[in-house]
Amino acid sequence: MPRNLFAAALLATTTLSLGFALPAHAQDTAAPEPAVALPAALTAEQMPPIPLAMAERARPYLEARGAGFAGWDPNARAVLVSTRFANTNQLHRVAQPMGARTQITFEAEPVGGRYAPKRGDVIVVRKDRGGDEYFQLYTLKDGRLTLLTDGKSRNQQGAWSADGHLLAFSSTRRNGVDSDLYVMDPRDPASARMVFQSNGGGWAVLGFSPGKQEAYVADYNSVQDVDLYRLDMASGTMLPIGNPADQVAHGSFRVGPDGTLWVTSDRDSDFQRLGRLDPITGNFTPVTNERWDVDGFDISPDGKTIAYVVNEAGTDRMRLLDVATGKVRKVDALPAGLIGGVEFAPWGEIGFSLSSAKSASDVWSLDPATMLLTRWTQSETGGLDVSVNVEPEILTTRSFDGLEVSGILYLPDPAKFPGKRPMLVSVHGGPEGQSRAGFLARNNYYLNELGIGLFYPNVRGSTGYGKVFVSLDNGPFKREDSVKDMAALIDAVRAHKRVDAAKVGLTGGSYGGYMCYAAAVQLKDKLAATQCTVAISNFVSFLENTNPYRQDLRRVEYGDERDPVQRAKLTEISPLTRVNEIAKPMFVITGANDPRVPKSEADQMVAAIRAKGGEAWHLVAADEGHGFAKKANADYAFLAQLAFWKKHLLGE
């Protein structure tokens, strides 16, 4: 998972149908409380109806939206943004700062896309079906999409050439498993040609040399090992940049206008640094020495300035580097929050997205010459006063082996909610991800309306704390060390003077969902209930049934179920093996089309809990995958979670 707040997003799993249904035979008794209508794609198993009154109270929080920067229109001072006005995120064009968000895609599924650089004569769009992640590429014109790929395989957009002529992409069309590399002129779909036949699912084109004689390619083996190559576009010869046997993680990559290769890398460092890369020897020359990861960057069209972002313990800071002198300027006018999509315009302006505790994600720009900030969008927050949203604090403790672990803690306003309050722990996915301090959107309802605190732990295996930290949970024999970290952090939260230790719940999605199941088994005495989303219940069945293109990538992280010794350990540590120890209520949320964690992982856990007489709510979406992307589904899921936590944390 890209570094995102998967568990937080699912806790906030984002048009609510506020119709209600009455039982057919309700003549002689008091009328039941009106309920929210279940969206057509959802199946709710052994769940109570959702009170309409609760949905009405929560409605403003459901209507918050954000805008993500999707790039500049190179032919005008205008931006492309991703935002939602109906059921899914679509592309919009904004022609001037704070101008109208003019929608240009109108699909049932979420889409992403961007203009061809330099030319700006075409927009290439990416879209899947029902969350299956079998992405197809299209061109967009007059609100209609024209298919560029085969319509069946999984396709991932790669880099554009600097002149906007060629677009690279990877595709599994050959055998359904390996990500072969292709290039095309998207103005002519028939121009697509394979340039490299791969062996594995982690290949991608990162950039082209200025004359397009070479492409620069990454082979993602794991979060700790990303190898780089030079691909001769005429002969198809692939040559390594440096030694592929070295375990080095290369991150963001750009080709300067003079052909210099710029990259973030953890070579000779615990953290990702920005520097120059020799395309022959692979020698890396860092130009930054930050104490945290450099997460992303872009280079000005004249090559003189680099804008980069530093992830400081989950909060982003922007820096401007003068390439000639090495002088760094800090962009201090930005609030603490999350920065994404940094991109220079052809005229030198820097576009990006920014979110913070008191602001939904919106699009901004920075003039590096004057340091003037310009806001391009101001997303709606349901009419709510965002100034009352609480700022987080960092909670730190020591785990079983002395390792320092931490998390982001939000506590409700003590003037409105005095005394000890319930707490909801939300575990991120990945595991190569990180909980970070951005806008909580609908999750602010827990804090501002219910007085329930929120805590987002970053256990070992999380990114953002160095390559040693991210490696500490690798393989089946270290896997449960992260569960021990979670236990230590929950103990620290329960000991907080503002927390009611008897009313702590836990939620998580994807790998965070595994942690949720594991907590239900191993930490049940510390928790009142659990809510687990798209979660791994059995590592063996997960590895055998996850989409084939992902299997080898996941075996690097979790272990190889084909090896008898590892298989035995994977079975031992799987929550399903110890399902009889689950004693507290559980709520499971599942996407039927999930290619990563198959629906069968949820089905077998729910069935096992119910077989022994346990309480297990189960919400299944027929048109979703690894998380809920459609607003109608996500709204209902959020309301169902509210009902679950009001019952088990507030006793309502």
The percent helix, strand, coil of the chain (3-state, each to 5) is: 20, 35, 45
pLDDT at 291: 93
Of the candidates 430, 404, 394, 397, the one whose C-alpha atom is nearest the C-alpha of residue 313 is 394
Longest dimension (CA), the chain: 84
Distance (Å, whole) CA 36 – CA 241: 57
Kindly tell me if the per-residue pLDDT of 11 is higher than 70.
no
pLDDT at 29: 57
Neighbours of 243 (CB within 10 A): 10
What pLDDT digit, counting tens, does each position of 131-143 carry? 999 999 999 999 9
Of the candidates 291, 525, 355, the one whose C-alpha atom is nearest the C-alpha of residue 8 is 355
> Is the separation of the CB atoms in 297 and 309 below 8 Å?
yes
Peptide bond into 431 cis (omega under 30): yes
Distance (Å, whole) CA 432 – CA 221: 13
Kindly tell me if the per-residue pLDDT of 396 is higher than 90.
yes
- Average pLDDT rounded to a whole number, residues 554-567: 94
* Rg of the chain on CA atoms, in Å: 24
SS3 489: helix
pLDDT at 605: 98
- Token readout for 490 is 């929950």
pLDDT at 553: 86
pLDDT at 18: 36
The chain-wide mean pLDDT, for the chain, equals: 94
Contacts of 482 (CB under 8 A, 6+ apart): 431, 459, 460, 461, 472, 473, 515
Kindly tell me if the per-residue pLDDT of 15 is higher than 80.
no
What pLDDT digit, counting tens, does each position of 154-186 carry? 999 999 999 999 999 999 999 999 999 999 999
Distance (Å, whole) CA 237 – CA 245: 19
pLDDT-based confidence at residue 22 (cuts at 50, 70, 90): very low
Element (H, E) at 364: strand 359-367
3-state secondary structure 274-324: EEEECCCCCCEEECCCCCCEEEEEEECCCCCEEEEEEEECCEEEEEEEECC
Could you write out the DSSP letters of every residue in 43-106?
EEES-PPPBHHHHHHHHHHHTB---EEEEEETTTTEEEEEE-SSSS-EEEEE-STT--EEE---
pLDDT at 185: 98
Share of the chain above pLDDT 90, in %: 92
Kindly tell me if the per-residue pLDDT of 222 is higher than 80.
yes
What pLDDT digit, counting tens, does each position of 530-557 carry? 999 999 999 999 999 999 989 988 998 8
Kindly tell me if the per-residue pLDDT of 412 is higher than 70.
yes
pLDDT at 549: 86
What pLDDT digit, counting tens, does each position of 590-642 carry? 999 999 999 999 999 999 999 999 999 999 999 999 999 999 999 999 999 99
Share of the chain above pLDDT 70, in %: 95
**Least confidently predicted of 17-26, 308-317, 409-418:** 17-26
Kindly tell me if the per-residue pLDDT of 399 is higher than 80.
yes
Could you write out the DSSP letters of every residue in 390-412?
PPPEEEEEE-TTS-EEEEEEE--
Distance (Å, whole) CA 443 – CA 255: 40
Distance (Å, whole) CA 439 – CA 557: 30
What pLDDT digit, counting tens, does each position of 261-277 carry? 999 999 999 999 999 99
Distance (Å, whole) CA 550 – CA 148: 24
